[in-house]
Structure 1
Amino acid sequence: MEKTNMVRYYSAKSYPSHLVINMPALSPTMTMGNIGTWQKKVGDAVAAGDVLVEIETDKAQMDFECQEEGYIAKILVDSNTKEVNISQPIAIIVENKEDIEKFADFTVDSAAAAPAAAAPAPEKKEAPKPVETPKAAEAPKPEAVKKAAPAPAPKAATPTPAAPASAAYTDIPVTNMRKIIAQRLSESKQTVPHYYVTVECEMDKVLKLREVLNKASEDQYKLSVNDFIVKASALALKAVPEANSAWMNDSVRQYHSSDICVATSTPTGLITPIVANADKKGLSTISNQVKDLASRARANKLAPHEYQGGTFTISNMGMFGIKHFTAIINPPQSCILAVGSTEKRVLPARAGEEGELRTASVMAVTLSSDHRTVDGAVAAQFLKAFKGYLEEPLKLLL
């Protein structure tokens, strides 16, 4: 918990010195959040690092930790309260246990009214302007009344048919995280000029190399196809840096590191943990990190820096048998790669091969790009580099 989320107050009215815990902003886009379950109750001692409460942000559900020692004197916002504004007081901590009972009648209004150790000077407010009394409406002139045609009677509204009794349904409450996902993706689709480019990659060499490396791993790692995709994407971004960018209105920001977001489904919604500097990491490191991030994401144990940011996103639905799909860009990033399943395909034989046909394991990927930052030629160059790394995967080991 950042100390900016705590304000120390000194003897206000009959209240002893105390610490007000405010609702934190745990992500840059967070304006409000939901209170989950309090892990401490009134009277409990707390120390730095203790989990106070679960908080659902616009990105994930997280444990909110204390950084001060003391005792919980008052919980101002109950468990499972929805849409709590950031900076709203949620709890009170005191230094001395005997002060707890003095906060029995403490309220949010008390926290707002109490004098802080250093409070900013209040802004001067302008005197309210006088409100003009509206003039009474003038009566229409007689001649105007004579000429006016009577208004036609409004048509009776067509009654809406009642839903059939068999149309049973359940309204599922929308979490704060789901609301933000809906808002951001709607905004992305409406404001970012998407276009899509697809390429097919032959995966036979990746599958063989994966098998060899996993047999030699001595249980230190277990590579997946997705680990190769993360590494190939990171190296392709280094080869085509124009794709590793973001639209900043007055400029195009080009990133120097390949920080790959891996879309991960959790019980509360989609989250994108980041493999930072993936271009500089080996396959085994990427594999272990992706598994660790995904596991902690599903348990709501990620720190903000582990899912906020990133320069490029991968969404892989191949494990569900999806052959091809398009994904919505995650602003302010310029690209997202949609990965489909790998399937056996009959293809024409290559020059020098016997026979006319051959079989290959083929995977289709579709790159969604922001046309403001990534032109079609750049997208094609990126996919060419990406395809090259997967079809000659030994390059990933260099």
Structure 2
Amino acid sequence: MSLIKVGVIGIGNMGRSHVRALSEGKIKGAILTAICDPFQNELESIIGQDNVKIFRDEDDFFNTSVFDAVLISTPHYDHPRLAMKAFAKGLHVLIEKPAGVYTKDVAEMNLAAKESGKVFGIMYNQRCNPIYQKLRELILSGELGEIKRTNWIITDWYRSQSYYDSSEWRATWQGEGGGVLLNQAPHQLDLWQWTTGLMPKKVHAFCSYGKYHDIEVEDDLTAYVEYENGATGVFITSTGEAPGTNRFEITGDRGKLVVENSKLTFHRLTQSEREFNATYTGGFGRPECWTIDIPIKGRHTEHQGIMQNWIDSITKGTPLLAPGEEGIKGLEISNAIYLSSWLKEPVELPIDAELFYEKLQEKIRNSTFQKRAVGKVNLDVSGTH
């Protein structure tokens, strides 16, 4: 079987990592044939080989015929636009997270993907983590029973002021489209709904903008959600806490699942709580509970796992672990959190995409992008966290 020729556009921190994986032959069935980035110097030294074409102009890149598939690792706003450009050229697409900044153009991207018939993936590499795969299996198989509550505290994203000062685009509405919610936490927003199989129906969120840093976007937030089945949830994240916490807890009718410190623990009830509640006559008392450390098999293949799965889907028809169309789910949650914070009231899902876009444009018009002083640290733009 012939190798799938891959082009990479956006050669920042993550883009360089993807280029290395491809050029070093770590992705079976794929070969790197082109890279593109108008903002990076010394692209030749990044690839270290002569058979990879280098482009500075995106139109020249897409108009060439030297690749069958494209990996997009540019800044957030460009993901949908470039993906649609690739679909129009008959290319398979893998985009970095998030799918975009607002659901309006991500929905257009999803439609273009469907019409193209090409393989479309998103770099939700945390879906390769066997802990979250096992968590999803336990929940969707019914082992936990009906979900009552979800809580995720993910506050170990600590970032210093110098991190934000390293580039003028960083932590601005125009440059990134958001803060911790859009830059650091998209993986958790995805896993929140992917592992549980639940999307919120209502969100009431409280975001703090520049609470711990001199930035215009959010660096601390708490979101309360309600689900169709009556369950509730809380999502808390911040870049201003040290050492921070990463604890995901899901409570159901048959106990509680907790992911923390790279462990999955099942506090399993021997009897349904609802059944116990209806039949127990002893007053004080609770269902018997076993605490089980769930054994985790396999290894976390990270970004290479998603890339390999994408290539295998192209060449063998292997089901995608992270279909690109599913990127809109986590993004809709983040859009709902922002919109609730801006309106200072709960919002229903699906959100009013036009209203969100309108409010975002107001933020962009007042953005300090290109105005903030740039610090001495020089970090790459594309695909950074």
Whether these two folds match at TM > 0.5 is no
Query: For the pair shown, which has the larger CA radius of gyration, 1 or 2?
Result: 1
Shorter-chain TM-score bucket reads under 0.3
TM-score (norm 1): 0.21
Task: Report the structure, 1 or 2, having the larger helix content.
Answer: 2
TM-score (norm 2): 0.21
